[in-house]
Structure 1
Amino acid sequence: MKLSHALMASAAALVPATALAEAHMGERGRDGEVNIIYWQAPSTLNPFLSGGTKDVEAASLIVEPLARFDETGAIQPWLATEVPTVENGGVSEDLKQITWKLRDDVVWSDGTPFTAEDVKFTYEYCTHPEGGCAQITKFEGIESVETPDEHTVVVNFAEPKPYPYTAFTGGESPILQKAQFENCVGAAASSCTEENFNPIGTGPFVVDEFRTNDVISLSANPNFREEGKPAFASVNFKGGGDADAAGRAVMQTGEFDYAWNLQLAPDVIARMEAGGQGQAVAGFGPLLERIMLNNTNPDPSLPPEERSVIRPHPFLGEPAVYNAMSMAIDRPLLVEIGYGQAGRVTCNWVPAPEIYSSTSMTCDEQDLEGAKQMLEQAGWVDTDGDGVREKDGVELRILYQSSTNAVRQDFQALIKEWWEEIGFAVELRNVNSSVFFGGDAGSPDTFQKFYADVEMYANTFNGTDPQAYLANGLCDKAPRPETQWQGENISRFCMEEYDALWNELAETADPLARQSIAKALNDMYVQNGGMIPLVHRGRLSAHANDLGGVKLNVWDSELWNAADWYRISE
């Protein structure tokens, strides 16, 4: 299948109906081993301690939420019997309470019962005041969690919650086993290595061995609730390397069955597909390649507890500066060289779903002269002829970091050239992806710690409602020492008006009003120096021709239905 066709095809249609039927027949583990490669290697299997997609997705083979989002973006019950709504009585009329009924056929992989206490504990774990939780925005607005019986969870909100499906839904908010993690709350969370590397779960696989930033060995969960699943007895999950090697390993050499996030140029993908061993699958969700702007001061001369905490940044808070930086970028060229049909120009933090995508900004034309003029008028001038503009003794010198990846380094080189043309001095830095997207509070190189002026990466969100994602711009969600450098407000953006408008979104039920407020939040964040959006990216992965059951999911973990995967026999 050519890439252009992959973008338009439904992943569900890639497997014949007869083969799908065969997938539900036979004994658990009948198809041997499946080989998965993520060139960004997982560094933990506890998604609450990492904001990295690689870690969330690897963990989704083991730990599960109450509900998931399927390949169409629709919410589906998972560990719950149904999705609560006002109509079925699961959500109260005043929208201040949601009641989840748990399945009674679920046990943990160690054979112990899965109960409401595990769900309540997960809430307590992530919201502990002395801890740091990478997914804390999912629990925003919860006042308490009650457990009337072992199969009922009642979540109480402080205010009406028109969209109550953030906590315990999607791969980013799974359930942890209380018995395993009860001594790992608060400040102790990051030190529980055994628990974080070997979580007990309810998912289709269990961890046999976890080698951080390297290989994960898993085997079929003998206590998985669905008979005959998973079809694979074991998983060899390889991490590390690069996107090029991962793509070739599936589509050319056939060494692996699934390769994630093939951030490669279109012509490279086409050559790989010609190898005949596998095919690329792609789809557009909310994935955005962006440049985050540090709203704090990352000066290395500051003590570690102040660096990227002390406000303001020496110059990135000035509209003329960040607007000029955005104007200097040729986004259509970035799309062409980096992603082809798997990319689109965007000015938005939330590029999808379309109903939430703002149309108030344009950025599809580069304007270098306009950028120069904007800086000049704001008083940024090159007085000594060294090519770098300055004002009041401050020079426009920036450290621009990203993860190590061929496309990102191409982007860095081009953007450095454009920024230097308008009067910046730019130092480039790239960090190994496993480290950059890891959650190690002791590392100076994580994207959460943000020891740079600007940094580039991609991020997305689970589901089709951006409420929790937009909470990433709230003042109190910034990573800092007391949260063990966990938190989703990576730019340390902070505006009282933004916080107030987000609270309005959280309390608004009318769909059209929610769309309007979400767009306004998007615009407020971008126009006030939170980030520079670059490319709306399609999620592009590849699977072997004989791997059945794959349904590419851009709204949840790509491994969301690994229990349904199987080997197609010739």
Structure 2
Amino acid sequence: LLHPHFGRGLRDFAVQRIFYEPLAAPAADGTFVPVLAEELPSLKARTLAKDGSWVIWRLKRGVVWHDGAPFTADDAIFNWEFALDPATAAGTKAAYDEIDRIDRIDQYTIKLYFKKPQPFWAGAFTGGGLLPRHIFQSVKGAGAREAIGMLAAVGTGPYKLVEFRPGDFIRAEINPKYHVANRPYFDRLDIKCGGDSVGAARAVMQTGEYDFAHYVLIEEEVLRRIEQGGKGRVLAVPSSGVSFIQCNQTDPYREVDGERSSVKAPHPFLTDQTVRGALSLLVDRVSIQDHLVGRTGQITANFLNSPDRFRSRNTTWEFSVEKANDLLEQAGYVRAADGVRAKGGRRLRLLFQAAANSTVQKIQAVVKQAAARAGIEMEVKAIPASVFFSADVTNVDTNVRFHADLQTYTVFTGLDPQLFMAQFASWEIPAKENGWTGRNISRWRNAEFDTLWRKADVEMDPVQRAALFIKMNDLVIQSAVAIPVTWRNVVHAAANNLKGIDLNSWDSIFGRIAYWHRQGG
């Protein structure tokens, strides 16, 4: 979908940025750079409240939409109204939810007032692009979704839409009225949609038919073979995602009041930190990195890895079957005749589930093999991804319902980690009574963590706030309720002579496509 408010995934978000632009866009280091804004709000310019209660955006003058109409404050305000309209059901609603009202100061200035002080004031107008009011005003609300496909993409971006065949092909041509001088470089873009990662990578690095392939998910061994074609290179961009193993703190087999994995039924042994600590020692991250993940990830000991100012330097990881055995032995988990440990009549037998994916199942197998050497019996289960990540809470095989002891998947944080770290807050536990809508899927409860999270939610000093998030991360790692495996990279393929690509995981890879150019031609 070429629509900044209705995109359904990473590719939709990425491609729409060729045509639509925000007021400011994230930089690689987690800060912002102005795009349709004249400058970033700041305390020095008196466009940002010290207490985070309001912010002023000054818009760039002389910007026009692809059809020649001027970009003004009315367009920015319209996007706020569009996103918040309940009938629109926009995917961007959460980014604008904390705005109480917006005042139009003049044609190129808006002032946002927040419902409560915001330590992170840049949530709105900095993600996807903005829509033109004069085109989309008539379809705001209930008719917005139906109008997708009837209205062409008209933005302020460096390229204009010429042809769009959903799921198949996009053609764009240079925007001669682009607001950055001497940009973009190319006269035309041809974008082939669909297909598979292997075919896309080959089209760039082996045949040279294309110049760029977006987000290629390929096992390292296959990727290396394709790369030998010599016509392109692999670009690995550190993302905000972490792949981890989650330990259920509730009993997935005991039903209480019609609910399994209920906080009313603690897990018989995963509530024991010794067992969780042993499990963290049984993840052979080096083997996973070298043979399975490759350039699509890097080993990490942290749950929160980015932006850099929030990443802890206090954590470590280790793979040691010997130490895991010692921990379990000292805690009274004794091997039976078949080699499986038990305590109080409870055998260390675990169900380890994940979404069906060849690489993920191999990672499960690596962990299972090490666990067996420590006296832990492990059964692995693969669930179709459409089921595992389904929003249908009546489906008991979803990761949220968590009818297993362990599970693994990847989660991504935004530029501000407040919502990301809420997945360990005690009030976020999914349960039957809240329709399983909570984010704390491990069902972990820790009073110290809750206090730190609430402090961060109102702390205006960025240095002190970062320190609070680092403490939260360290608590999670020390508890081993979540065991990080890899900090994920997003992998692209690019022609050897294609230059100017900004390796930025926070914005669309196409966010700076106006600066892409071909070396030597």
TM-score range, shorter chain: 0.7 to 0.9
| Corresponding residue of 2:314 | 360
Q: Does 1:337 align with 2:337?
A: no
Equivalent of residue 194 in structure 2, options 239, 243, 264: 239
Amino acid at match of 2:369: E
**1:87 maps onto 2:38 in alignment:** no
Deviation at 1:545, TM superposition (A): 2.3
| SS of residue matched to 1:324 | helix
1:545 alignment partner in structure 2 = 496
* Counterpart for residue 369 of structure 2: 417
Q: Percent identity?
A: 27
The 5 A counterparts of 1:520-531 are 520-528=471-479, 531=482
Out of 102, 108, 123, the position equivalent to 2:59 is 102
Question: Corresponding residue for 1:518?
Answer: 469
In structure 2, how many angstroms separate the alpha carbons of the residues matched to 1:496 and 1:98?
A: 33
Shift of 1:353: 4.5
Cα offset for 1:297?
7.9
Alignment of 1:173-322 (within 5 A): 174-176=129-131, 180=136, 194=148, 201-203=155-157, 204-206=159-161, 208-209=163-164, 211=166, 214-220=167-173, 225-226=178-179, 229=184, 231-242=186-197, 244-264=198-218, 268-284=222-238, 286-293=240-247, 314=267, 319-322=273-276
Alpha-carbon spacing, 1:286–1:191, altered in 2? closer, same or farther (3 Å): closer
- Which one of 133, 151, 157 corresponds to residue 114 of structure 2? 157
- What stretches of structure 1 of length at least 5 have no aligned partner? 1-43
Aligned partners of 2:174 and 2:263: how far apart in 1? 47
Task: Indicate conservation of the 8 Å contact 1:137/1:469, yes or no.
Answer: no
| 1:528-549 deviations in Å (ceiling 9; x for gaps) | 5663211234443220124343
Give the letter aligned to residue 55 of structure 2.
I
2-side partners of 1:487 and 1:209: how far apart? 38
| 1:427 matches 2:380 | yes
Residue 536 (structure 1) aligned with residue 493 (structure 2) = no
Matched residues in 2 for 1:479 and 1:62: separation?
38
Letter in 2 for 1:410: K
After TM superposition, the structure 1 = structure 2 runs for residues 115-194 of structure 1, keeping only pairs within 5 Å, are 115-120=72-77, 122-123=79-80, 138=95, 142-171=99-128, 174-176=129-131, 180=136, 194=148
* 2:196 aligned partner, one-letter code: G
Do structure 1's residue 351 and structure 2's residue 302 form an aligned pair? no
> Residues 183 and 193 of structure 1: is their aligned pair in 2 closer, same or farther, counting only changes over 3 Å?
closer
User: 1:346·1:534 contact (CA, 8 Å) conserved in 2?
Assistant: yes
- Once residues 90 and 140 of structure 1 are traced to their aligned partners in structure 2, the CA distance between those partners, rounded to angstroms, is 21
After alignment, is 78-87 or 68-77 more displaced?
A: 68-77
How far off is 1:208 after superposition? 4.4
Counterpart CA distance in 2 for 1:130 and 1:106 is 30
Q: Secondary structure at the match of 2:33?
A: strand
Q: Distance in 2 between matches of 1:124 and 1:150?
A: 17
Q: What are the residue-to-residue correspondences of 1:3-152 with 2, within 5 Å? A: 52-71=9-28, 73-109=30-66, 114-120=71-77, 122-123=79-80, 138=95, 142-152=99-109
User: How far off is 1:166 after superposition?
Assistant: 2.7
- What TM-score, normalized by structure 2, do the two folds share? 0.77
Residues 312-349 of structure 1: CA distance to partner in whole angstroms, max 9, x if unpaired?
77565554444333221112222222355775432101
Note if contact 1:199-1:207 (Cα within 8 Å) is conserved in structure 2. no
In structure 2, the CA distance between the partners of 1:488 and 1:368, relative to structure 1 (3 Å rule), is same
Query: 1:115, 1:306 → 2: CA distance?
Result: 53
Q: CA deviation at 1:309?
A: 8.9
Does structure 2 retain, via aligned residues, the 8 Å contact 1:98–1:154? yes
Equivalent AA in structure 1 for residue 511 of structure 2: W
Q: Secondary structure at the match of 1:239?
A: coil
Q: How far is 1:521 from its partner?
A: 1.7
- Residue 170 of structure 1 and its aligned partner are, at CA, apart by 3.8
Equivalent-residue separation in structure 2 for 1:541 and 1:122 (angstroms)? 31
- AA aligned opposite 1:153: I
Q: 1:560 aligns with which of 511, 517, 521?
A: 511
CA 1:297–1:223 in structure 2 vs 1: closer, same or farther (change >3 Å)?
A: farther
Amino acid at match of 1:102: L
Shift of residue 290 of structure 1?
A: 2.4
- After TM superposition, the score normalised by the length of structure 1 is 0.71
* Conserved 8 A contact 1:403-1:436: no
CA shift digits 1:513-570 (9 cap, x unpaired): 2332120121234445663211234443220124343222234222211233345564
For 1:60, give the aligned amino acid.
R
Change (3 A) 1:169 1:202: same
- Indicate if the aligned counterparts of 2:388 and 2:397 stay in contact, CA closer than 8 A: yes
* SS across alignment from 2:193: strand
Counterpart-to-counterpart distance in 1, 2:172 and 2:238:
31
Match runs of 1:468-483 below 5 Å: 469-471=420-422, 473=424
Q: Would the alpha carbon gap of residues 361 and 438 (structure 1) be closer, same or farther in structure 2, given more than 3 Å must change?
A: closer
Which amino acid letter does the alignment assign opposite residue 84 of structure 1? P
Shift of 1:162: 4.1
Q: 1:71 to 1:534 in 2, by over 3 A?
A: same
After TM superposition, list the pairs within 5 Å mapping 1:442-457 onto structure 2: 453=404, 454-457=406-409
The answer on whether the counterparts of 1:283 and 1:538 sit within 8 Å (CA) in structure 2 is yes
Contact 2:315–2:477 at 8 Å: present in 1 too?
Answer: no
SS of the residue aligned with 1:155?
A: strand
Higher relative contact order (CA 8 A, sep 6+): 1
CA–CA distance in 2 between the matches of 1:268 and 1:455? 26
Matched residue SS, 2:242:
strand
Q: 1:487 and 1:135 mapped to 2: Cα distance?
A: 19
CA distance 1:438–1:68, change in 2 (3 Å): farther
Q: Which amino acid aligns with 1:552?
A: L
Contact 2:383/2:397 (8 A) holds in 1: no
- Tell me which structure has the larger Cα radius of gyration: 2
The question of whether the paired residues in 1 share the 8 Å contact of 2:173 and 2:188 is answered with: yes
Map of 1:327 onto structure 2: 281
2:458 to 493, 507, 516: 507
